[in-house]
Structure 1
Amino acid sequence: MLKTETPSTQHAQLDLYPTDQLVAALVDDQFRAVDAVRLASPQITAAINAALPRIAAGGRLLYVGAGTSGRLGVLDSVELNPTFSWPPERALAILAGGAGAMFTAVEGAEDDVAQGAADLLALLPQGHDVVFLLAASGATPYVLGALRAARGAGALTVGIANNVDAPVATQAQCGIVLDTGTEVISGSTRLKAGTAQKIALNTISSALMVGLHKTYGNLMVDLKPTNAKLILRAVKLTMHATGADEAQAKSVLEQCQFHVKVAIVALLKKITTDQAQALLAGAGGSVRSALAA
């Protein structure tokens, strides 16, 4: 039996726990998700190093999964645009059962190998694309079908699973095993198995964005200010990076559609936003390189 499906020996009387003990059991078990990701750090590092040159060359991030794993892939893909101004067409997710499965469980969809392959091929994968195959069990047929199709198309495959020797991890070029073990509620991989996958995805996509110069130091300088909160954040980030006051930061940001990178370079080098934009373009989007130019 897979570890993720094996009943926990620690909480056989879970339904008898008082609420405080139940909360403690559920929360404390989540720490094992962090431990599992930490142990997989070398595999995660290898995946990032393999993916970065492909993405820098114009590749896309493609996510494939079923159930909780698939929904986590969707979540990672959609958050890259507001956080890093990453083009939505370069972060796509497919989910067993289609888009509706994001909100309603579609039973049996995960068992269709051919549909997984067809859905992946519909995205027209190419050599520079990076495909994340997500499955807690590591053997979901839909995901394995997509994996084989992705490899056949020459894309880089990154398999993320929660069981040792899982096919999704062993058959991908980059396998990541998040060995989270048994769940407090037997087989409920929406718990720490899902948490570990979320941490791994956050780590991978964030590291890729840092490598693509979407940050300046640890500042999120390539966000897309699509609401009042993000506009205020853009102002605060610009102030922090440059020492400008609020009025000055906002004035320069208004001249460049609130593009924080451009405002920082313009303010620190005392140049126009058009000149700052040109410097950034010549520096591959790196604020540090543009400031040194």
Structure 2
Amino acid sequence: MQKVKTELKSELAQGIDTLDSAQALEALLGGQINAVNALQSCIPAIIKAAKAATSSIRSGGNLCYVGAGSSGLMALSDSLEISGTFGVSMSQIKILFAGAPDTLVDMRGGAEDDTDLAKTDVKDTNLKAGDCAILVSASGNTPYTVSAQHELKQLGVTTIAIANNNPSELLNNADIAIHLDTPPEVIAGSTRLGAGTAQKIALNMISTLMGIELGHIHDGLMVNLKADNAKLVERSLSMVKDIAQCDLSTAKNTLQQAKGNVKLAVLLAAGAQNEHAAERMLIEHGGVLRRCLEEIRSDENINA
């Protein structure tokens, strides 16, 4: 039986155990860089994935991440960052990680073969048609992840597959397939290396483009973040000052008035009549701050 690509040995690995530390690290870095290059051809599929995720979240639906082992950790990491970065409610974000929570303490591999567990986990999420799921597997054939995909498709959930081997069951059965054509690993089969790096980047690209599409990014700033620590409060003040072009005192006052909501604070500092008017603009413009600011400037020009 022919091995899948992620199980093959990289040419960079030849004699790696005889190299000095710097040379060994150069080989490892080369493997990572080669893996990153695989992302370029995936951009069209990543755009489709981000738009599917955006549609689900915007309509009040759910975005579910599915994975096992190293690939599951990449999925878990992205899922946990979405709420803090983009202000999306965690009630809309689901994660199916094979064998969790036990496997998050001891990463034994048995859970990734448990297809019955996948079926149970999917059932417990109460996902439905209109929801979206991102399934990640380096081989593309991980039993837990493939079984979860089958169950999700039965429910009418849009499935996005990210895999490093093609053909593979996960990619073949996906609504949106993202094939990360990464080279063999410097440590054969250790997909936490190049394959994992490429997966992490692909997931970052999907969720960040989703954040942009939802109107939660303005000029590279996270204008829908949840300021739940001192660092983020300072970041919120800085964003209000920067976008509304106001002084620190105004930023503090409007942020307090908006109860920490950066978008509302920006609009108040930029000239919105009151909170109600700012909220109305955000609703009318789909949460996109730039369009709201354009409306304020247009009104100012008319009244000038």
- TM-score scaled by structure 2? 0.92
Tell me the equivalent position of 1:105: 107
CA–CA distance in 2 between the matches of 1:226 and 1:7? 45
192-201 vs 239-248, greater mean Cα deviation:
239-248
Offset, 1:270: 4.4
For residues 137-148 of structure 1, the aligned pairs below 5 Å read 137-148=139-150
Which one of 222, 225, 229 corresponds to residue 224 of structure 2? 222
**Cα deviation code 1:183-220 (max 9, x no counterpart):** 01111000010000000000001111111111123221
CA–CA distance in 2 between the matches of 1:286 and 1:11? 48
Secondary structure at the residue paired with 2:134? strand
Tell me the equivalent position of 2:284: 282
CA–CA distance in 2 between the matches of 1:98 and 1:82? 22
Secondary structure at the residue paired with 2:108? coil
**How many pairs were matched up?**
293
Match status 1:239 vs 2:241: yes
CA–CA distance in 2 between the matches of 1:205 and 1:279? 25
CA–CA distance in 2 between the matches of 1:150 and 1:212? 24
CA–CA distance in 1 between the matches of 2:247 and 2:35? 42
Secondary structure at the residue paired with 2:13? coil
Q: Is the 2:70–2:192 Cα contact (8 Å) retained in structure 1?
A: yes
Q: Is the 1:14–1:22 Cα contact (8 Å) retained in structure 2?
A: yes
Match status 1:264 vs 2:266: yes
268-277 vs 135-144, greater mean Cα deviation:
268-277
Match status 1:200 vs 2:195: no
Secondary structure at the residue paired with 1:238? helix
Q: Is the 1:63–1:133 Cα contact (8 Å) retained in structure 2?
A: yes
Q: Is the 1:252–1:273 Cα contact (8 Å) retained in structure 2?
A: no
Q: Which amino acid aligns with 1:30?
A: Q
Q: Is the 1:60–1:91 Cα contact (8 Å) retained in structure 2?
A: yes
- Identity of matched residues, %: 36
**Cα deviation code 1:69-91 (max 9, x no counterpart):** 11111111111111111101111
CA–CA distance in 1 between the matches of 2:163 and 2:258? 43
**Cα deviation code 1:100-144 (max 9, x no counterpart):** 212321331111112112211210111111111110010000001
Tell me the equivalent position of 1:119: 121
Q: Is the 1:55–1:128 Cα contact (8 Å) retained in structure 2?
A: no
**Cα deviation code 1:137-163 (max 9, x no counterpart):** 100000011000000000000011001
Secondary structure at the residue paired with 2:61? coil
151-160 vs 84-93, greater mean Cα deviation:
84-93
Q: Is the 2:78–2:203 Cα contact (8 Å) retained in structure 1?
A: yes
CA–CA distance in 2 between the matches of 1:271 and 1:23? 58
Secondary structure at the residue paired with 1:21? helix
Match status 1:78 vs 2:80: yes
Q: Is the 1:111–1:140 Cα contact (8 Å) retained in structure 2?
A: yes
CA–CA distance in 2 between the matches of 1:216 and 1:105? 39
53-62 vs 175-184, greater mean Cα deviation:
53-62
Instruction: Give unpaired runs (5+ residues) of structure 1.
Output: none
Q: Is the 1:83–1:220 Cα contact (8 Å) retained in structure 2?
A: yes
Secondary structure at the residue paired with 1:64? strand
Offset, 1:22: 1.2
Which one of 32, 49, 67 corresponds to residue 51 of structure 2? 49
Tell me the equivalent position of 2:91: 89
CA–CA distance in 2 between the matches of 1:91 and 1:192? 26
Q: Is the 2:272–2:278 Cα contact (8 Å) retained in structure 1?
A: no
- TM-score scaled by structure 1? 0.96
User: What is the Cα-based RMSD across aligned positions, in Å?
Assistant: 1.4
CA–CA distance in 2 between the matches of 1:188 and 1:249? 49
Match status 1:149 vs 2:151: yes
Secondary structure at the residue paired with 1:122? helix
Q: Which amino acid aligns with 1:209?
A: G
Q: Which amino acid aligns with 1:8?
A: S
CA–CA distance in 2 between the matches of 1:274 and 1:251? 16
Q: Which amino acid aligns with 1:227?
A: N
Instruction: Give unpaired runs (5+ residues) of structure 2.
Output: 296-304
Q: Is the 2:52–2:132 Cα contact (8 Å) retained in structure 1?
A: no
Tell me the equivalent position of 1:171: 173
Secondary structure at the residue paired with 2:190? coil
